[in-house]
Amino acid sequence: MAKELTPRSENYSQWYQDLVIKADLAENSAVRGCMVIKPYGYAIWERMQAELDRMFKETGHVNAYFPLFIPKSFFSKEADHVEGFAKECAVVTHYRLKNDEEKGGVVVDPDAKLEEELIVRPTSETIIWNTYRNWIQSHRDLPLLINQWANVVRWEMRTRLFLRTAEFLWQEGHTAHATKEEAIEETVKMINVYADFAENFMALPVIKGHKTENERFAGALDTYTIEALMQDGKALQSGTSHFLGQNFAKAFDVKFTNKEGREEYVWATSWGVSTRLMGALIMAHSDDNGLVLPPKLAPIQVVIVPIYKKAEQLETISRKVNEIVDELKAKGISVKFDDSDNKKPGWKFAEYELKGVPVRLAVGPRDLENGTVEVARRDTLEKNVVSMEGIADYIQNLLNEIQLSIYNKAFEFRAQKTTKVDTWDEFKEVLQNKGGFVSAHWDGTPETEDLIKSKTKATVRCIPLQNEQEEGVCVYSGKPSKQRVLFAVAY
């Protein structure tokens, strides 16, 4: 079969690449590092967007839109920020092309050079805080709770579809607050929203925690993260929420008059998730037959395939199937009846397995006689013959069960792949042979983290929230430590 995937056990990275391409999720474009998100992939992203957008609005946020371009001078105003992003900025320098016969065609017009270069936003803190300066005068203007859905560009040298691309789609929340406490509260609230979304919609268990200084967002005082574990034992940072302190307010001179009439700098947060979540979704659950999608994000939740030999049988089957379709739709279930006659059922089965459709129904003449239908689950590949009576309720329950079951499987996998270690030998051994999260004592210094990374490729993924405190010694340096942190090799 043309659409066979490289097995995960053989080459996980190739399996991922095969799957993204063959399930029609995305492909590399002619522009280095930029991807095309194909309709089926985009349909999943749209479902993610819809749920996240609803969650943002329910927590009091509104959407807005800020410019794609950032003047270079703005970009440079916050020192850590520019340091963090300068190496990967796409820069617009000209605003016109012209025809030049001598040079053999269309060239950039040298007379149309911009006075100041524009950076294609890699993230929008600078342009947004420059705007907020005019929006915020008094404590009555706060909080400002704004989100933006946008494309951003980071000129990454090594790219992988969804996981790391030069252009990607994301949302970025940028909030402004009167007090430090309120800003921290917002930062935590949003990492909780992300965790809720990951767990309840993506069926992806995540660990919430703080990033270490090494891994913090450029310009943040504290970065909260949700970290998920992929099937190859590598971690994937799936969303971050940053407490920015007054760094951007100071860089852009954003002050407000507080209730006591004194001027103060505004407190900031920013938080974002991106199309990288697509990579997490794919890698966490899928298998050698293709995608496994949690029902809550599947563009097609149920596919119905008719099984017949003669055309007139299809007609009888269709009549019954259309009733089922109506019943399912009435329950808000997304269903596709694939009655195309140029593909065999076996081909269709494989195709919808590849595409991760959670439930497949097959209906043939025998089923019509018996009042039954064959129900196949994508996640476990189990098949059952069930009565057509009450089929919609049955399917609805089954979809809920699948959602939960996919989550539980990933949760158990993570539990099995999380190891407490107390010595450096153990640390290396576990990372090399088992992978996953390694819970170990660390002396808290960036230097030790760097050394550990250079020797094992593992980094501190996070210091979990409400982390248990215990006396110990750093696995690497032997220096005293008050808590374990989670290490892993990461995407």
Residues within the interface to its own copies (CB under 8 A): 27, 29-31, 34-39, 42-43, 45-46, 62-72, 74-76, 82, 86-99, 105-106, 108, 117-120, 127, 130-131, 134, 140, 146, 150-151, 153, 155, 167, 169, 342
Output 61 or 417, the one with its CB closest to its own copies.
Answer: 61
Tokens representing residue 460 in the block = 């501190």
* Angle at the Cα of 312 from the Cα atoms of 308 and 318, rounded to 5 degrees: 70
Identity of the residue, 165 or 225, whose beta carbon is nearer to its own copies in the bound complex = 165
Q: Which residues, in sequence order, are CB contacts of 274 under 8 Å at separation 6+? A: 152, 168, 169, 170, 171
Phi (first) and psi of residue 71, to 5 degrees: -60, 140
End-to-end CA distance of the chain: 31
- Taking the least distance from each CB to its own copies, the nearer of 124 and 439 is 124
Structural contact between residues 448 and 476, judged by C-beta atoms closer than 8 angstroms? yes
Residue nearer to its own copies on the CB measure, 341 or 369:
341
Q: What whole-number distance in Å separates Cα of residue 336 and Cα of residue 399?
A: 15
User: What tokens appear for 305 in the block?
Assistant: 């395939």
Using left for φ > 0, alpha for ψ between -120 and 50, and beta otherwise, residue 405 falls in: alpha
Q: Which two tokens stand for residue 225?
A: 């993260």
Q: Which is nearer to its own copies, 120 or 207 (CB)?
A: 120
The rounded distance, in Å, linking the Cα atoms of 314 and 482 is 69
Residue closer to its own copies (CB basis): 103 or 310: 103
- CB of residue 53 to its own copies, shortest distance in Å: 9
The nearer residue to its own copies, 199 or 338, going by C-beta atoms, is: 338
Taking the least distance from each CB to its own copies, the nearer of 20 and 82 is 82
* Closest approach of its own copies to the CB of residue 74, in Å: 7
The answer to whether 293 and 358 have CB atoms below 8 angstroms apart is yes
Separation CA 117–CA 176 (nearest Å): 28
Task: Work out how close the CB of 390 gets to its own copies at its nearest, in angstroms, rounded to a whole number.
Answer: 30
Beta bridge partners of 480: 473
Specify the residue, 77 or 484, whose C-beta has the smaller distance to its own copies: 77
Q: What are phi and psi of 268, to 5 degrees?
A: -130, 150
Structural element, H or E, at residue 199: helix 180-200
Q: How far is the CB of 196 from its own copies (least distance, A)?
A: 23
In whole angstroms, how close is the CB of 83 to its own copies at the nearest point? 8
Which amino acid, one-letter code, is at 67? P
Name the residue type at position 340.
S
**Minimum CB–partner distance for residue 37 and its own copies (Å):** 4
Q: How far is the CB of 30 from its own copies (least distance, A)?
A: 6
Contact 297, 402 (CB under 8 A): no
Please state the closest distance from residue 371 (CB atom) to its own copies, in A.
34
Q: State the nearest-atom distance from the C-beta of 324 to its own copies, in Å.
A: 22
5 DSSP 8-state letter = P
